[in-house]
C-alpha cells in the first residue's frame, strides 16, 4: 500500500450518474455491470451504492467467483434480487452447480453445451433462463439455428431474459451499420421465438455506447457499465456523467533541467529546458507503461509524462515558467471528476478508460466519499 497516492471515489457521484442515466432511460430497468471489481472502483462499495441507494434488483458480473463475492455482502436482498453471471459461469464444472441453487445466482446461457447442462442438471430447475444470442459479434452467444432441438424445452420453461451484445456500439451509429444489423437480427429472433409460443419476460441489448446514443431502449432492460463510472464511449454521446474517481498522487521531487539532460532509465533526453516533477505513481500502481508521452493538465498547467514509467515513479515535464507552481510533497491529480480528462488520457494512450481504470493496482488505496 501507498499513502502518497490514492484513488478517491465519490459514491455520491455514482448515485448522481445513476439518476442521470435514469433520466435518459425513463422506461427501462437498469442492470448495472460490476465486473472486474466494478471497473476498478471496488465491487463492494459500488454494489452497496447501486443496491441500497439506487435500488437496483439485478446486477451483472463476469465470473462465478465475482457472483459468490457479491452474494456474500450482507446488504444483498434475500429475495427479488439477481446476480447475473455473464461469461465465466463454470457450468461445465458440476462441482460448481450447487452455487446456482441459490436462485439469486443466474448464469447467462451463451453456448449450446451450457444449455444442455441447464436443462439436464437438477440444480437449475428453479433457475431462470437467461439466454444470450449471437447476432454478429461472434464472441459468446448461441446462434439462433442451434436452438432448434431445444425449442420445446425452452417453450416449457419460458425465457426470463433474452439478450445480445453489440460489437461496435462505441462508434457513432449510422443507419444500416453493424449495430443496426445486429439489432435487426435480435428483433427478428425475438419475434420468431414469440411466434412459436415462447414466453419472454425481459430483453436487453444496450451497453453504455448504445445507451448514450439512445439505441436499443425499446427493450425493457439496459446494461450499462462504463458510463455509470463516468466516462463516455462515443464522441457522439451526450453523456454528462461525472468521473466518480480522482487519481491523486504526491510530488516526490521537483527540479529544473536543461535541454539534453537524460531523465531516468534509458536514454530519454529532454528536448527543451524543462521543469520536472517526479510523481509517486508507476507501473506497480497500475500506470500502464504506454502512458509515457501523454499530455496532461495538472492544476491548469499543461505537462507531459516523460521517459520511462518506473515501477514506483514517473516524470511529468512542464515549460520552465511553470517552476514555482508546484512544490515537493504537494498532492496533484492525474484525473478528476471531469470525465473528459480520463477519456482524453485514454485516447492518447490508444486505449479506453476501461483499461486505464481496471489497471490501477492494489497498492493504490481506495478512499470513499459518501454523504
Ligand X SMILES: *Cc1c(COP(=O)(O)O)cnc(C)c1O
Q: Which residues contact ligand X (rule: CB under 6 A)?
A: 33, 35, 86, 165, 207-209, 223-226
β-pair type (274-279, 245-257) = antiparallel
Q: How close are the terminal C-alpha atoms of the chain, in Å?
A: 26
Dihedral-angle region of residue 358 (phi above 0 means left; psi in -120 to 50 means alpha; beta otherwise)? alpha
* In the complex, minimum distance from the CB of residue 203 to ligand X, in angstroms, rounded to a whole number: 13
DSSP string, 56-89: -SEEEEEEHHHHHHHHTSTTS-SSS-EEEEEEE-
Nearer to ligand X, 208 or 346 (CB): 208
Nearer to ligand X, 110 or 248 (CB): 110
DSSP string, 245-280: EEEEEEEEEEEEE-TT-B-SSS--B-SS-EEEEEES
The CB density around residue 49, as the number of other CB atoms within 10 Å, is: 25
Nearer to ligand X, 279 or 345 (CB): 345
- CA nearest neighbour of 239 among 15, 17, 40: 17
* In the complex, minimum distance from the CB of residue 85 to ligand X, in angstroms, rounded to a whole number: 11
Nearer to ligand X, 35 or 341 (CB): 35
Residue nearest to ligand X (CB): 225
* In the complex, minimum distance from the CB of residue 223 to ligand X, in angstroms, rounded to a whole number: 4
Nearer to ligand X, 193 or 205 (CB): 205
* In the complex, minimum distance from the CB of residue 46 to ligand X, in angstroms, rounded to a whole number: 13
Nearer to ligand X, 29 or 257 (CB): 29
* In the complex, minimum distance from the CB of residue 247 to ligand X, in angstroms, rounded to a whole number: 19
C-alpha cell at position 2: 501507498
Question: How distant, in Å, are the alpha carbons of 117, 141, 198, 245 from that of 108?
Answer: 12, 9, 18, 30
- In DSSP terms, 279 is beta-bridged to 251, 314
Element (H, E) at 228: helix 226-229
* In the complex, minimum distance from the CB of residue 108 to ligand X, in angstroms, rounded to a whole number: 7
Nearer to ligand X, 95 or 138 (CB): 138
* In the complex, minimum distance from the CB of residue 110 to ligand X, in angstroms, rounded to a whole number: 9
Amino acid at each position: 500500500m501507498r499513502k502518497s497516492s490514492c484513488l478517491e471515489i465519490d459514491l455520491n457521484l455514482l448515485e448522481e450518474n445513476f439518476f442521470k442515466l435514469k433520466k435518459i432511460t425513463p422506461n427501462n430497468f437498469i442492470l448495472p455491470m460490476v465486473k472486474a471489481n466494478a471497473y476498478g472502483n471496488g465491487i463492494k462499495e459500488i454494489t452497496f451504492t447501486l443496491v441500497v441507494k439506487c435500488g437496483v434488483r439485478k446486477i451483472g458480473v463476469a465470473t462465478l467467483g465475482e457472483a459468490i463475492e457479491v452474494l456474500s455482502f450482507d446488504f444483498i436482498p434475500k429475495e427479488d434480487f439477481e446476480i447475473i453471471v455473464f461469461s465465466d459461469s463454470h457450468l461445465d464444472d458440476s462441482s460448481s452447480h450447487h452455487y446456482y441453487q441459490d436462485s439469486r445466482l443466474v448464469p447467462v446461457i451463451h453456448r449450446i453445451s451450457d444449455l444442455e447442462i441447464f436443462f439436464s442438471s437438477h440444480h437449475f430447475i428453479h433457475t431462470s433462463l437467461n439466454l444470450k444470442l449471437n447476432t454478429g459479434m461472434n464472441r459468446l452467444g448461441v446462434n439462433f439455428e442451434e436452438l432448434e432441438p431445444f425449442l420445446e424445452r425452452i417453450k416449457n420453461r419460458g425465457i426470463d431474459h433474452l439478450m445480445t451484445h453489440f460489437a461496435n456500439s462505441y462508434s457513432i451509429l449510422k443507419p444500416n451499420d453493424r449495430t443496426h444489423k445486429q439489432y435487426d437480427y435480435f428483433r427478428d429472433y425475438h419475434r420468431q421465438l414469440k411466434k412459436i409460443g415462447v414466453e419472454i419476460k425481459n430483453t436487453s441489448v444496450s451497453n453504455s455506447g448504445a445507451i448514450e446514443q439512445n439505441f436499443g431502449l425499446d427493450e425493457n432492460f439496459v446494461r450499462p457499465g462504463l458510463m455509470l463510472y463516468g466516462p463516455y464511449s462515443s464522441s457522439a454521446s451526450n453523456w454528462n456523467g461525472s468521473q466518480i474517481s480522482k487519481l491523486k498522487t504526491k510530488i516526490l521531487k521537483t527540479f529544473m533541467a536543461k535541454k539534453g539532460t537524460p531523465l531516468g532509465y534509458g536514454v530519454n533526453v529532454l528536448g527543451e529546458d524543462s521543469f520536472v516533477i517526479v510523481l509517486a505513481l508507476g507501473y506497480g500502481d497500475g500506470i500502464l507503461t504506454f502512458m509515457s508521452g501523454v499530455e496532461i493538465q495538472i492544476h491548469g498547467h499543461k505537462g507531459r509524462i516523460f521517459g520511462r514509467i518506473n515501477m514506483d515513479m514517473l516524470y511529468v515535464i512542464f515549460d520552465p515558467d511553470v517552476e514555482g507552481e508546484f512544490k515537493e510533497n504537494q498532492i496533484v491529480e492525474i484525473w478528476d471528476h471531469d470525465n473528459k480528462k480520463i477519456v482524453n488520457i485514454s485516447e492518447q494512450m490508444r486505449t479506453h478508460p476501461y483499461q486505464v481504470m481496471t489497471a490501477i493496482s492494489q497498492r493504490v488505496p481506495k478512499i470513499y466519499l459518501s454523504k
